[in-house]
Amino acid sequence: MIVDLLERGGDLVEQADVCVIGSGGGGAVAAAELASAGLDVVVLEQGHHWTARDFTQREDEMFPRLFEEGGMRATRDGSINILQGRNVGGSTVHNLCYAFRAPPAILRMWREERGLEQLSDEAMAESFARVERNLKVKPIRPDEINRLNQIVRSGTEALGYSGFVTKHNREGCVQSGYCILGCSYDAKQSMLVTYVPRASAAGARIYANARAERIEADGGGTRRVLGSVVDLDGAPRASLEVKARAVVLAAGAVASPDLLLRSGLGGPHVGRHLHLHPSVMAAGFFDEDIHAYRGIPQSYYVDEFIDLERDPHRGYVLMPISGFPVLTATQMPGFGRDHYRFMRDYAKMAGLLVLLHDRTSGRVQPDKSLSKPRIEYALERADARQLAEGLVHCAEILFAGGARRVVIPFLPEALVLERGADLTQITRRGIQQGRIPIASTHPQSTCRMSADARRGVVDSWGEVFDVPGLFVADMSVFPTSLGAPPQITTAALADRTSQRIIARRSEFSA
């Protein structure tokens, strides 16, 4: 049962075995697994319940529907744009479906350096397999690789670099290319069409437009979640209260620590250790029409510049990227006639981004507005150097793939590189926040997992230290930056946490 609280009207008063906060990549998994095991589950989702019928493939309509702060969420200084979902299904509704397990070297590092012995490859394998089965993860077929990704592959191989065609979670994909605006064909196997319906069918009561604002966990076995029924721009319309014996917090790496801090729970590490996987991009211009916006947006992955076996703490990957006209126009340098010189060649444009396995550690804190936490993140110099180095490789790959010109969108003046140009110009300009567009789609680690209560927020099962029955099940539990697209790892850790709750069901069921 999925209930639109705005449409229903009135306050919400509920009681359940488990209250799950958030219905995205972690929350939906927890809700489905727990409800399927017979637990009585209530899900609170602050976003609206949009479905394929609402996905119009228009930027001006979809960004306000699907993204936190209408897509404007940013670090406090405005230098890093952070894209997070705000809808039933969370960020899985707009993500681009890379389907990777956590790299074995990262799991090993979490075991060896963080003492998380339970996160063995064998222990995680069952959760990974279950999640991949439910999300229908499969290799992308050669005939599904669009021209953008073909070009990146060609350039990568010409230079002898390492890259590969990835797996994804799509079924019956029609290759429209509008994944980031929500799949109008229900081909993307997001939480919206997989775990959320499964949770609903198993009896979970899923409430949309329901914002949790405080968790009370003072003594006894019952937890209380208090909050508001909110309209589409976050204004409160009514109140809500859910009593439950367990709470699974899965609101994402910004909202989860914000809620814990507002509730005075979780200890001194809550909100700290924020990693963003920050990314910067280069745009290549070709003689041919590429129409990068059509077809599966990301199917190739360049891993030449990350060797986690050798050093699990650093490196970066390169990923093809495309945008629709509004987004592209805002990224292109200058204005007027100069700007149009780039936009005129929109159809001939291919983007390649650097996604950094970052060591920089930022912070999330509550601010005046409930929907706009304060996010601080100042790139460490070593990370800035890696991003600049990555842009050099983006440029050389795009040139090797046939680009006649590559643009690095530095502000206020872009760097326009013609074929044969000295690419060290990029590293000489360097990466400075506010001087180049930087984006993040993977905020993580703000409620990090640790074997030691003095070093983290949750234990190896996702349970908050000193608050029995309060679990965290989203990307905020990653002990460090993951260094890979996080969708499958997030879901697998949530699955694992759910199995733990099920094993202890006598504590949590009425």
Residues 416-475 touching other proteins, rule: CB under 8 A, are 431-435
Q: How far is the CB of 238 from other proteins (least distance, A)?
A: 17
DSSP 74: B
The residues pairing with 247 across neighbouring beta strands, listed in sequence order, are 19, 470
255-294 residues near other proteins, rule: CB under 8 A: 289-291, 293-294
Q: Identify the burial level of 112 via C-beta atoms within 10 angstroms of its C-beta, where 0-12 means exposed, 13-18 middle and 19 or more buried.
A: exposed
Dist CA 460 CA 114 (whole Å):
10
| Two tokens, residue 373 | 């936490």
24-43 residues near other proteins, rule: CB under 8 A: none
Classify 226 as helix, strand or coil.
strand
Residue from 413, 452, 466, 507 in contact with other proteins (CB under 8 A): 413
Q: How far is the CB of 218 from other proteins (least distance, A)?
A: 33
Residue from 110, 207, 346, 399 in contact with other proteins (CB under 8 A): 346
Nearer to other proteins, 430 or 468 (CB): 430
Q: How far is the CB of 479 from other proteins (least distance, A)?
A: 11
What b/e readout covers 32-45, taking b as 16+ CB neighbours within 10 angstroms?
Answer: bbbbbbebbbbbbb
- Strand 438-440 to strand 363-365: parallel, antiparallel, or no bridges (unpaired)? unpaired
Contact between 366 and other proteins per CB under 8 A: no
Residue 326: count other Cβ atoms within 10 Å of its Cβ. 12
# residues near other proteins by CB under 8 A: 89
Contact between 384 and other proteins per CB under 8 A: yes
Contact between 184 and other proteins per CB under 8 A: yes
- What is the x/- site pattern for other proteins, positions 122-151, by CB under 8 A? -------------------xxxxxxxxxx-
- Strand 300-302 to strand 163-165: parallel, antiparallel, or no bridges (unpaired)? antiparallel
Contact between 67 and other proteins per CB under 8 A: yes
Residue type, 501: I
Contact between 411 and other proteins per CB under 8 A: yes
Contact between 238 and other proteins per CB under 8 A: no
Residue 366 CA, chain-centre distance (Å), reads: 20
- What is the x/- site pattern for other proteins, positions 290-329, by CB under 8 A? xx-xxxx----------------x----------xxxx-x
Dist CA 301 CA 98 (whole Å):
9
Residue from 51, 340, 389, 451 in contact with other proteins (CB under 8 A): 340
Contact between 220 and other proteins per CB under 8 A: no
Residue 346, H or E segment: none
